[in-house]
Structure 1
């Protein structure tokens, strides 16, 4: 399989290609629409889409993929993930395999839910918590330490949507930053997480089959004072002008080369079975970015070997929890409760 890198900056593309060796080619495209035209013209075997915000960019790229061209993205925005999964019948009809959530976001927590549920599907309640951390190596094709437009757009899109959870099998509104909890990680450190409308919410619902599902992340401010401001921020970001300004401001911020708080990223799932039994499991990975790169590469190689099947899937639903292991993750299961992070939404363990 001959890799071809497509992006806006020819210089950064060449720098990245130089780190890959072999016969990696580069093709410059000044916009997502221009990149989509290249895809339609060259009909690659597999497209790996990494340019967020996926709520805006995934649609044109998917539509440009001709019959027989498979697609992988790294989306973790709730609306982007559900939109792609809604293309299942179309993908079957055109012989394409569409895969979303091929990264730490979505796959990590989904894999723990699938591992815990197994033959006990469906569950009564599911809560997932994502704790992504740094550890990524410097990248000559990167954004020079800045957040960058793609990630900034994804973050702002998530905040603008406002809170969501599943109750009674229905997706309902929730206060952004609600469902906050304190987790004691298996390494002994403690973090706080809060609810967010990520693709992990939809993936956890499908993986566990539960009518009540909460998805939380350590990336959401969990302090009481900041959480009180989040709903107002969501309202402000619904204004296109303010939203674009926030994206530009966030894109220009510099971040440290390595994230703080330890070398591992963690994903937790807490599952209540139909008989009331509560179980918990964890997935430990290295840096979230490195894990994401490994997942995307593994999925792309498997699709190139025709190991997928037509339709629209999350990476975990297509290849199962072992995909997370193949990408370097390790499951920690069978222990007692590791602390905190209740169900959220005001429901006790015994409520239906």
Structure 2
């Protein structure tokens, strides 16, 4: 096979990790990005087999359209913008997968569902710990059972940090979460809620006490579709534990960020924040799901894995390989909706029902 998979943003942390995994599988890769030197260095680390494509995102999209790959892997943020941009630019029959977790990006790409079916494309959103960490738990919890009345999922990641700037993709995600504001499902409809609403301290099976709060994310989108529940909350550790920050500062930021030019300015500043190298804060990453059925019955599920960044790269690569092998189907999907909870286990996670 030739020109199997293009990786957009290949020299970022996730792009590099996914490239290494796919290269070990003998996949024909094109590494795309802006810097010739870093792309050539990465290709050299992979034995010099992958080709490189140097240019802006628009330039690379035009280039791949002339020589269509089977799959495009997108790691370029902010995904609230690039996920639809890339999806719409793909030739007929070329599949798409990304790791985004911004709710607005899911709405955009799922709006292309019928178009993807006509063009023979599979579009997969959120193929990483973000989404799969909680989606697999809620899917397993609801297997063989009637539709629950109420669902809550909690994202509890930990990962080793690499030294360097935070980066544009993550910075864009942070700004988009603030701009978009909170959401939850109530009465079967998506409604606005305060960012970091429904605060809770969760104790993991290993005894760690972790604070979470609700918000708008791909986890919410996936949990709602997976469960069909009338009430859904998706929470994460990204929510601030300080009540003043939750009740005062976040609402003010939500207003200020709507000023023209503010999102780009804030995103640029956040992207430059320097991270120090550090090991995982805990021994495990968790995804938690709980459900209540109309008869009052309740149950929980815990997904356990190691480094959330490693799990993300493993899920991402596994989805890309399955699409390459023709195991997808036309339309827009979350990873669990397409491949089931078993996908998380294939990437090294375990799921336990309580």
Query: TM-score of the superposition, structure 1-length normalised?
Result: 0.90
Which runs of at least 4 in structure 1 moved beyond 4 Å after TM superposition? none
1:90 and 2:110 matched = no
Aligned to 2:144: 119
Aligned to 1:5: 31
Query: 2:131 aligned to 99, 106, 115, which one?
Result: 106
Alignment of 1:76-225 (within 5 A): 76-135=101-160, 145-225=164-244
Distance, in Å, in 2 between the alignment partners of 1:181 and 1:259 is 26
2:194–2:215 contact (8 Å) kept in structure 1: no
Structure 1 unaligned residues grouped into runs of 5+: 139-143, 335-352
| Alignment CA distance shift 1:277-1:64 (3 Å) | same
Query: 2:302 aligned to 282, 303, 320, which one?
Result: 282
Residue 86 of structure 1 deviates from its aligned partner by: 2.0
1:251 and 2:276 matched = no
1:132–1:219 contact (8 Å) kept in structure 2: no
Structure 2 unaligned residues grouped into runs of 5+: 1-26
Distance, in Å, in 2 between the alignment partners of 1:65 and 1:151 is 24
Distance, in Å, in 2 between the alignment partners of 1:266 and 1:238 is 34
Residue 14 of structure 1 deviates from its aligned partner by: 2.2
Residue 22 of structure 1 deviates from its aligned partner by: 5.9
Distance, in Å, in 2 between the alignment partners of 1:282 and 1:310 is 31
1:270 and 2:296 matched = no
Q: Deviations over 1:46-103 (max 9, x none)?
A: 0001111111111221112111111101110001012212211111111111111101
1:82–1:199 contact (8 Å) kept in structure 2: no
Aligned to 1:18: 44
Distance, in Å, in 2 between the alignment partners of 1:173 and 1:114 is 25
Q: Deviations over 1:287-324 (max 9, x none)?
A: 11111111110001011110111111111100000100
| Alignment CA distance shift 1:66-1:121 (3 Å) | farther
| Alignment CA distance shift 1:121-1:257 (3 Å) | farther
Distance, in Å, in 2 between the alignment partners of 1:259 and 1:86 is 39
SS where residue 44 of structure 2 aligns? helix
Quote the RMSD (CA, aligned, Å).
1.4
| Alignment CA distance shift 1:33-1:77 (3 Å) | same
